[in-house]
Amino acid sequence: MSISPKALRPAALALVAGLALAAPSAVQAEAVMKLASATINDVQHEWQKRFAEELNQRVGDAVKVEIYPASQLGTIPRMLEGVLFGTIEGFITPTSFLVGTEPKFEIFDVPALFASPQQVGGVLNDPDYRKHLETMGLEKGFRVIGAIYNSPILLLSTKPVTDLAGFEGLKVRTFASPLQMQPLASIGASPLPLPLSEVVPALQSGNIDAMLAGMPILVAFKFYDVAKYVTDLRLSVVVSVNVVSETWFQQQSPEVQDAIREAGWAAAESVLPFGIENVARTDKVWVEKGGEIIQLPADQHGEMLEDFRAIGIEIIKEKPAVAAELDLLEEVIQATPTN
């Protein structure tokens, strides 16, 4: 028996209507936002958790945030590549690890730049400056949606370093930044950039003697089981930024884009007290675990920072675009209270 086209028409219309009703659910499909980091149980991890809460309050289930700390999604270079290629939506890291992609971020590695953690927070949360900071990496494919005080830079070593002479011949893991490498080389050390995930075996094998890092990292990864001496360099302050894939960001609705930006900076502002307290807490834990914290002689430390800052300024001056960024940053620093 044949069926006439007229008989099929109501069924076809019903099918089209059903598809039309189903379409909005596809349009409103939940976006997944993976957040990666190399660390865990520190201020970077805390920012991620607070960001997830802030975003959920703004968009609910429209964006599902998944947090992957402790290099679960790869080494630092691989995680940054993931953001640039759009396979990882967000990645939080010290600015030093962005320098190879966008040299302007080198400004945050200048020694003796900030006077206090409170000043760091005041600068990074200055409304005008953070608008500028958000766009510093756009040409390279990423957007900054949060910048935070992390910790002062210390030296972990397998043998005590009690004065500047102790740096002679010391093989030191650094961030991938000339502003760490060249100052250390100037006092006789041999700097070597390494991903955090490769540091422990390098220390255990003797391939390196020491590393630059913040105390929260040393405690979170139990470095006291590998080496117990920390020299309180306070070389510079680690500033961490969360970057998101600009390709992915532009695929979101304007409402979600605004929510991501608002959530990122709200989390950055709220996490400052946690970051300050976390440094003090981890200093205490280090000593409780049998570690030592060594102070350089005051005159040597002051002279070292002065010399290191001069080296840093000379490095920056060789790059006009970066030098202009440093001038802008120092204007904001000078206008920001230290407490």
The confidence band for 15, taking pLDDT boundaries of 50, 70 and 90, is very low
Chain mean position to CA 54: 19
Q: In the predicted model, what is the mean pLDDT of residues 144-151?
A: 98
Token pair 């909005």 is at which residue? Answer: 24
Looking at 190-297, list the stretches that DSSP marks H as alpha helix, in order from N- to C-terminal side. 199-205, 215-220, 246-250, 254-270, 272-288
Q: How far apart are the first and last CA of the chain?
A: 88
Closest CA relative to residue 138, chosen from 68, 91, 84, 195: 84
What confidence score (pLDDT) does residue 29 get? 55
The confidence band for 194, taking pLDDT boundaries of 50, 70 and 90, is confident
E-strand ranges in the chain read 31-37, 63-68, 90-94, 142-152, 154-157, 171-174, 190-193, 210-213, 229-231, 237-245, 292-294
What confidence score (pLDDT) does residue 197 get? 80
Q: In the predicted model, what is the mean pLDDT of residues 167-176?
A: 92
Give the range among 8-22, 64-78, 159-173, 274-288 with minimum mean pLDDT. 8-22
At 201, which amino acid appears? P
- What is the spatial distance between Cα 138 and Cα 144, in angstroms, rounded to a whole number? 8
